[in-house]
Structure 1
Amino acid sequence: MTDAEAFVRPFEIPDGSGERVAVVGAGAVGLTAAADLASAGASVTVYERGDAVGAGSSGRAAGILYDAYAEDVDVRMAARALARFRAFDADGGTEFSVTPCPYVFLARADDGRTGEAIAETAERMRAHGRDVTTTDGAGLRDRFGDALRTDDVGTAAVAADAMWTDPASYVSMAADCARAAGVGILTGDAVGVRTDPPGVVRRGGAVTERYDSVLVAAGAHTKRVLAEAGVPLATKPYRVQALVSRRPYDGPICYDATEGAYFRPHPEGLLAGDGTEAVEADPDEWSREGDEWFVEAATGVLDRRANYEADVSRAWAGLCTATPDRKPLLGAVAEGVFVATGWHGHGFMWAPASGEAVAAAMLGGEGVEETYDPRRFDGSEAFEVVEGMTVD
């Protein structure tokens, strides 16, 4: 079995022999879909506006992986994604790996509303078969010792099946598998799309290349790419931030829902993030550097929650994409034209499943949940940007 076959098997995708397919965007989702499509026999070309694969949101992702969701459709997608992540790790043929690590989400004792939401959410997760336990500050201390400061914690939940990884290593692996399956990857090529018939517009509109189907998985640029083709999307890109600290941290992945911040182990020490700006961002004009206010806020959370004195080596920003109902847009938007966007920061986490599902749909199969059908919105909806890890 070749690396490309191992990438898609044992998941079932219809035979794509004879199909010509274009993928716009060489991030985690686009490359996963491309590798799956090519492994099923399709002839696939990937177009990436950046100078390298993973140049957009995928390269700036936090790399936290978990299946702890409260809704059944989300559980199915996340569980499938984690199964593929584990399978790629176990393959041994690439440098990609995952590190198992419990995921803790908690609220302070003086934040009763969030604590109640955590308890209710955890109960729903367990109802869907997730290994999630509910506890309090004392329970966290018994389990994790001094890794977290827990004296002010009122309610917490621990998801046992979580992991973390290096997003860049996944993108590199997916690109290698795609190329091994015969995918052509063109970088530095900002393209448009056509919907009738499906096609990709290159060289300032001078050349249109026809395809049987086109997938737009261009991150924050997805809305603009499809708008130019006359397809409106109900999405808004928004800015988030993260940092890396050089001091070691060997505790669990932690999301402090009261503070609205998360952190996890990192090969260099620790990665922390959020810094969500709840306003729509311009996908072409935005700051890639971490803000001073974010670094100050994040290091303060680390001090209060983990007694951790940060030694920040770098801080950066990335763009996530919001939708009115906080669910992704995944599937067809026109005959032969498909979209994958709108994960509220969970795009990398779901990439193996999202790419697989949309690849199957492009070849006439099933896989995309009806809940994620992009045509549930007409693109005119007014909505506010909501931080993706918020506990309802």
Structure 2
Amino acid sequence: MRVAVVGGGAVGVTAATEAAEAGADVVLYERSDLAGGSTGRAAGICYDAYAEDVDAAVAAEALSRFRELGVLTECPYVWYAREGDDSKAAAVREQVPRMEAHGRDVSLVDPDELGERYPQLRTDDLAVAAIAHRAGHVDPTEYVQAMAERALAAGVGVRTEREVSLAGPTTVDASDETVEFDVVLVAAGPATKGLVGEVGVEIPLKAYRAQALVTEPVRATLPMAYDASRECYWRPRDGGLLVGDGTREADPDDWDPEADAAFEASALERLRDATTLDPDVDRSWAGLCTATPDRDPLLGEVADGLHVATGWHGHGLMRAPALGARAAELLLGGEGIDAFDPDRFDGDEEFDVVEGMTFDEE
């Protein structure tokens, strides 16, 4: 089977590798460098702390694959709500038993005990906190490079710096060639909507701009964390902390990859409010994420022989090993995930963007 994968991020490279290792003849097209788009700007936080069974199983498989590849740095993941934030505190308390029922190694943790374990974490005003013990973080570029080595060894034809379009559902038009394939997977992040639109396929996908910074090195031992009340997250990176928050709908063809000064000030303020640290910014950036109406991805066939893998809500990298492998199975005639089937939508739905690094409140 001749397979084309459009998009050289974490999901696309994984799908191309898995399809080739299963015996397909695969060509991977990427318009810049591998991991040159959204993947390269990802936070790299990875956990399996999901309350829904499908999400929990996918995340657990992804973590297992990260560990097998040797790219996961183990680090607990903590999330919490503050006093006075009753709805989010109730949501945390409701989530944990459901996660435990799905076999996830998570638990509620007493805020005072959390503070004793991590002295630089302010816990005096926490109403409730939870911890995922078997979590970690991944360098996005390192993961893609590791998968690219496997891809090349499996015979994948990697075409970087190659802008492509679709001349048909399974026809890829590159600058120097037009090639017919048996199946095509478009895993091109925000560009996926425009690419499949060229052959008359509509998908309900929006792009949003997310920002992050890395602080200067700090002397601290902290977990990865999500402050649900302040809507801010962080993880250790390069001796400092990577800090991110928020969403803003964006035009994927006209957006600013530089972080705003206002974001930097706000993110540092939230970090100082949550910890005893007072670092400066080392570097910062913005990236694009993709959203769908129900916050579940679009993974599957949208026209005869044409598949998509997109709509990650900021969770693409952390689930890439599992969902990239499932995308490859689908290309070769395997089973999909019903909850992620693009057919659940008409394609023209209107919806508001909701960030991925959050949770549903009851």
Category of TM-score, reference length = shorter chain: over 0.9
Matched residue, 1:5:
none
TM-score where L is the length of structure 1: 0.89
Aligned to 1:199: 171
Give yes or no for the alignment of 1:324 onto 2:293. Answer: yes
- Return the alpha-carbon distance in structure 1 between the equivalents of residues 334 and 359 of structure 2: 34
Aligned match for 1:66, one of 22, 27, 47: 47
> What code does the residue aligned with 1:163 have?
G
Q: 1:222 aligns with which of 178, 192, 208?
A: 192
Aligned residues of 1:192 and 1:229 also touching (Cα < 8 A): no
- The residue aligned with 1:285 is 254
Task: Name the CA distance, whole Å, in 2 between partners of 1:131 and 1:258.
Answer: 23
**1:135 and 2:119 are equivalent in the alignment:** no
On the 8 A contact 1:132/1:158 being kept in 2, the answer is yes
- For 2:260 and 2:27, the matched residues in 1 are separated by 37
Partner SS for 2:243: strand
Residue 255 of structure 1: which of 216, 226, 232 is its match?
226
Question: Amino acid of the residue matched to residue 236 of structure 1?
Answer: K
Instruction: Let me know the Cα RMSD of the aligned residues.
Output: 1.2
Measured in 1, the distance between the counterparts of 2:199 and 2:239 equals 43
| Residue of structure 2 in register with 1:4 after alignment | none
What's the offset of the Cα at 1:195? 4.2
Letter of the 2:154 counterpart = A
Q: Distance in 2 between matches of 1:274 and 1:194?
A: 38
1:92-114 CA-partner distances (Å, limit 9, x unpaired): xxxxx211111000111111111
> Is 1:353 matched up with 2:322?
yes
For structure 2, the residue ranges without an aligned partner over 5 or more in a row are none
Distance 1:265 1:39 in 2: 34
**Distance between the aligned counterparts of 1:202 and 1:79, measured in 2?**
37
Question: 1-side partners of 2:251 and 2:149: how far apart?
Answer: 31
Kept in 1, the 8 Å contact 2:246–2:355? The answer is no
Give distance in 2, aligned partners of 1:39 and 1:298: 43
Cα contact 2:44–2:139 (8 A) shared by 1: yes
Contact 1:331-1:338 at 8 Å conserved across structures: yes
Q: Read off the aligned partner of 1:21 and give its amino acid letter.
A: V
Which one of the candidate residues 26, 30, 35 is aligned to 2:17? 35
Residue 311 of structure 1: how far off its partner (Å): 2.1
Q: Verify: 1:79 aligned to 2:65, yes or no.
A: no
Paired residues, number: 359
User: What residue number does 1:333 align with?
Assistant: 302
Equivalent AA in structure 1 for residue 153 of structure 2: A
Amino acid at match of 1:312: V
Match of 2:240 in 1: 269
State the distance in 1 between where 2:34 and 2:177 align: 23
1:240 paired to 2:213: no
Shift >6 Å, 4+ stretches: none
1:194 is displaced (CA, Å) by 4.2
Question: SS of 1:338's equivalent?
Answer: strand
